[in-house]
Chains A and B, each alone.
Chain A
Amino acid sequence: MKKKGEMKKVKKVKGKVHDGEHDDPWWSLVQNGIKPSFLCISIFALLVRVAVGLHPYSGANTPPKFGDYEAQRHWMEITLNLQPKDWYRNSSVNDLSYWGLDYPPLTAYQSYIHGVFLKTFDPDSVALFTSGGYESYIGKLLMRWTVLSSDVLVFFPASLYFVFVYSIRLGTGRNSDVAWHISMVLLNPCLILIDHGHFQYNCISLGLTMAAIAAVLSQKDLVASVLYCLALNHKQMSAYFAPAFFSYLLGKCLKNKNPLVDLAKLGLMVIGTFAVVWWPYLQSKEAALTVISRLAPFERGIYEDYVANFWCTSSVLVKWKKLYTTQSSRIFSLTATLLTCLPSMVQQVLVPSRKGFLYALLNSSFSFYLFSYQVHEKSILLPLLPLALLALEERRSLLWLTHFAMFSMLPLLHRDKLILPYMAIYTLFILVYFAPDGPGARCNGSKTLDHSPKKTRRGMEFISFIAFHPFVMGFLGLCSLILHVIYLTMHPPNRYPFLFEAVIMLICFSQFVLFTLYFNSKQWMLSKHVTSQDKQKLI
């Protein structure tokens, strides 16, 4: 009992100490606020990224086409040696059929800057024509460092900004929870594997999106729209989030006194940002159209490989690619995507709220992933971002969906020979998630459920009953574990060479659909919760 007296002393020394913080082994790490723990976690996250970078990249030693690594290197070569107007145009010096630039101008500028960096240290790696398929120790290193630096310069500050804003506006106040939140954002296994293993620059567009989200949460709508436009101009896939941004900002403007003025401001910001980014291509209509046509590669078909979305999964039954022309399948996918986005958009237009906005991001990106045209396995990164941002709200879903997102990328990463980092990073995620006495280990559902009126809970309950039923979860978890082993150790039967991929896709798809429904209902329940609260206030 001696210790009890001492503990009281502790409380006197530090007035701010909350009850129960002594049970928190991480308290020592986070007692000084967010920034020191952020620094610590981000150094660790960086270390993990560097270590993943030691492993092979996509298309290493596989001529003639190589992989994404070669694509990025080729873009550096093109942007460094050609004039901006020639970047997107097929010519004798720019063969668009060999990894032609098909991302928006911001990616091109980024490639240019990185190209300059590469040129200073290893000129051969970005020499025009001769550098095709260039691979070397130092070249790989420099390329890896470009991703690392983008991560440090864009994604890390953005996540700090977000977590800072989130913990002030929506947070629970426990510092160790905030630290856990940071590590969930920074140690997202899929993002690390794709950016630093497979080789891409998702960290930039996702970082910009995250910064935009943070700006929205802190009411800086104009900044948010600029940041989001930049994200959109880095990677057109950021459009997955467009419905959420659009509907939230629209809903908010409509609530103001002068909706038109606010809307006009936002519109001007958007147009201005686009004009700046697209400046070299605005000289003629033709130039702009060339770029746009490069950005929308409809000729690639409605889906690719074995992505766990609706079109690919249903193609087991309906051969979309054979039955319908590109034109009609484009219309199908557009309609389906918009229809599935619609509920969450309507909710945000009617009752825009910060938390609702985060759910709307999740829902719209899932709709796009499931139904839009030309989705890639890697696109699962986009829904995972808002999910990681909602980590403290959606603890179980985060764990579960990250598991299936990783699983859905298993074939891709297996091709890239990234199985060892796959397993290591996945283990790391699980370990960090279940950090002793962290929020993950304390998993106790979400609080909003308990306060909401009973009527609205019924539909929600049904979905979460299925989604979180221990039997279902255990069964699917076991299935996916066994499938991992089977996929890595056995050869598929000759008649069905892609049998395992198809099974993986089916399982992942089922979970993604289920959770899209769950998140949609949750978002709607939020608004009911809000309105009922408002009513209570009025009474």
Chain B
Amino acid sequence: MKLQESPRSPASITQLLWFFGIATVVKLLLIPAYYSTDLEVHRHWLAITHSLPLGQWYYDETSEWTLDYPPFFAYFERFLSFFAPLIDPWIVHLHHGLSYKADSSIYFQRISVIVSDLFLQYGVHISTRNLASLKRNLVWVFVIWSPGLLIVDHLHFQYNGFLFGWLLLSISFLAQGRDLMGGFMFAVLLCFKHLFAVAAPVYFVYLLRHYCRGGLVRGFARLSVLGAIVVAVFAAAYGPFVYHGQIQQVIRRMFPFGRGLCHAYWAPNFWVFYIVLDKGIAFLLRKFGFDIPSPVASFTGGLVGDASPFAVLPRITPMTTFIMVLLALSPCLFKTWRYPRPRLIARSVAYAYTCGFLFGWHIHEKASLHISIPLALVAVESLEDSKHYFLLSVVSCYSLFPLIYEAQEYPIKVLLLLLLLHTILMWFCFSALFPKIIGTKGSLQSDKKATQSDSKGISRTAAEKQWFELGWVAKSYLLGVVVVETWGQFLHPYLLGDKLPFLPLMLISMYCAIGISYSWIWQLKRIIILS
């Protein structure tokens, strides 16, 4: 009777540790692999927080990699910097340490990421402890063995796993009805990395409607408790800087709007279409004899200055993107307002991140993890979810490919993607095989699904033997990934040589943008149906 085993049984923790162990081994083996400048960025932050007093953290300009994360992350770096000098004092030396690439430094930082991932394990453990064992294993695979996380954290180098631990904790607390804890965790997360703030409207609306209810007085009392907690968290983070009178400087560092609409490599979002459309129209107009001046700043040239990078279409300002994100988010906010259901919170949060990803300002492709990690929690709920998640995770993993561009790591990323494809396919085969047994027995959802599949013309017997199979559109889309990759890696250099060097990357981001847009619409539809 494994299905009924108590969720807190030691066996499940051993199993979780087993999954973690396997992931850790791979991470350890990847230590000598390629790393991006982010390694130096984080090393410099270690040095800043270690050698300077708190008052100077956000003013220091010894290196171009200034501290631009919120204070909790700075404290986190400060915490790590206690251990770094034990390994090698040069790691935390403000001046000698610049671009310090000794093994000691790399090992220390890589291992600090691996150890901080323990928090992700904790988050996963808390958020899956009420699931049946098979579903639990699936979620573990998606989160702990997430190739995207591996690429971003352990090749490219960042501390996302640790941060996702907080996010998962927060979501699972909300889903379990412990609203205060959920809100607290999210506030903490925001003080670690403000990019997570895109989901703040969802949290706000949800907590307002779900937690602060029960009449005017009680609701107001609860609102004040919640507000006090959030304020306390923010005070803990920003208090010292307010005390030093530096809050403006901190905020200026954290929101560098001077950067362009798109990152050097275009994240696969809506703006890719916009740029391509602009270029296409300009090209056509020139063909017809109109005199269209080429934009001063170009997207392919990296960072963008003040000049408008568009030839024809109107210029996009941060405000425009902000409004677009809010607009895209509004149906979800509305639904959350009407039906604040704990069951849907993971979806709403993921949806908010999808909106932010698609329409946001200066979005980095790494942000696609913000969608795929929270969605992993609900990917096992039904067959449709699993199908969608399969597509989404492949797209989000593939969109990370350009991060790792050296030949040495090429097989690694391809194998990771294949592993992802394969594991997910197989595990879904199973989870989809018995949708009713381990699935949503007794809930409204399964009935709905049955009627849905009936309306689609699938006979009842077929619905019982549901098999994880993608439609031809999804299949050909995934096949297209192979084509795009083959073009970019092999055919393009072979056929065109050095001409149009940006084309392969542009193709990747355009192609992935299609997938992410699909996922956006699908998620919206799902939220509307389910609430």
Q: Given A25-B2, A43-B415, A50-B415: A427 and B25 within 8 A (CB)?
A: yes
Interface size on B, residues (CB 8 A): 43
State which size class the interface on A falls in.
35 or more
Contacts of A31 in B (CB 8 A): 429-430, 433
B412→A10 contact, CB < 8 A: no
Q: Which residue of B lies closest to A22 (CB)?
A: B2
Q: Which of B31, B422, B441, B464 contacts A40 (CB 8 A)?
A: B422
A146–B25 CA distance with the chains assembled, in angstroms: 24
Residues 1-35 of B contacting A (Cβ, < 8 Å): 1-4, 11, 14-15, 18, 21-22, 24-26, 28-33
Q: Would you call B431 an interface residue if the criterion is a C-beta within 8 Å of the partner chain's C-beta atoms?
A: yes
Q: Which residue of B lies closest to A427 (CB)?
A: B25
Q: Given A3-B4, A47-B416: A28 and B18 within 8 A (CB)?
A: no
Q: Would you call B134 an interface residue if the criterion is a C-beta within 8 Å of the partner chain's C-beta atoms?
A: yes
Q: What is the interface of chain A mostly: helix, strand, loop, or mixed?
A: helix
Q: Which of B3, B137, B426 contacts A3 (CB 8 A)?
A: B3
A28→B431 contact, CB < 8 A: yes
Q: What is the interface of chain B mostly: helix, strand, loop, or mixed?
A: helix
Contacts of A39 in B (CB 8 A): 422
Among A9, A32, A51, A423, the most chain B Cβ lie within 10 Å of the Cβ of A51
Contacts of A27 in B (CB 8 A): 430
A7–B411 CA distance with the chains assembled, in angstroms: 42
Q: Given A13-B465, A28-B134: A54 and B30 within 8 A (CB)?
A: yes
Residues 2-26 of A contacting B (Cβ, < 8 Å): 3-4, 6-7, 9-10, 13, 22-23, 25
Q: Would you call B408 an interface residue if the criterion is a C-beta within 8 Å of the partner chain's C-beta atoms?
A: yes
B434→A52 contact, CB < 8 A: no
Q: Which residue of A lies closest to B416 (CB)?
A: A47
A40→B419 contact, CB < 8 A: yes
Q: Would you call A436 an interface residue if the criterion is a C-beta within 8 Å of the partner chain's C-beta atoms?
A: yes
Contacts of B238 in A (CB 8 A): none
Smallest Cβ distance from B106 to chain A, in angstroms? 12
Smallest Cβ distance from B501 to chain A, in angstroms? 20
A31–B134 CA distance with the chains assembled, in angstroms: 13
B415→A436 contact, CB < 8 A: no
Residues 188-211 of B contacting A (Cβ, < 8 Å): none
Q: Which residue of B lies closest to A40 (CB)?
A: B422
Q: Which residue of A lies closest to B11 (CB)?
A: A436
A51→B29 contact, CB < 8 A: yes
Smallest Cβ distance from B440 to chain A, in angstroms? 13
A29–B441 CA distance with the chains assembled, in angstroms: 23
A4–B4 CA distance with the chains assembled, in angstroms: 10
A43→B422 contact, CB < 8 A: yes
Q: Would you call A392 an interface residue if the criterion is a C-beta within 8 Å of the partner chain's C-beta atoms?
A: no
Contacts of A28 in B (CB 8 A): 134, 137, 426-427, 429-431
Smallest Cβ distance from A308 to chain B, in angstroms? 26
Contacts of B427 in A (CB 8 A): 28-29
B426→A29 contact, CB < 8 A: yes
Q: Given A40-B423, A424-B28, A431-B25: A25 and B134 within 8 A (CB)?
A: yes
Q: Which residue of B lies closest to A434 (CB)?
A: B18
Q: Which of A7, A423, A436 contacts B15 (CB 8 A)?
A: A436
Contacts of B18 in A (CB 8 A): 431, 434-436
Smallest Cβ distance from A219 to chain B, in angstroms? 32
Contacts of B433 in A (CB 8 A): 13, 31
Contacts of B408 in A (CB 8 A): 54, 137, 141
Q: Which of B21, B28, B137, B437 contacts A431 (CB 8 A)?
A: B21
- Give 11 A-B contacts (CB < 8 Å), ordered by A residue: A6-B437, A25-B15, A25-B137, A28-B426, A43-B419, A47-B416, A423-B28, A424-B25, A425-B29, A431-B22, A431-B25
Interface residues, chain A, with chain B CB atoms under 8 Å away: 3-4, 6-7, 9-10, 13, 22-23, 25, 27-29, 31-32, 36-37, 39-40, 43-44, 46-48, 50-52, 54-55, 137-138, 141, 145, 148, 420-421, 423-425, 427-428, 431-432, 434-436
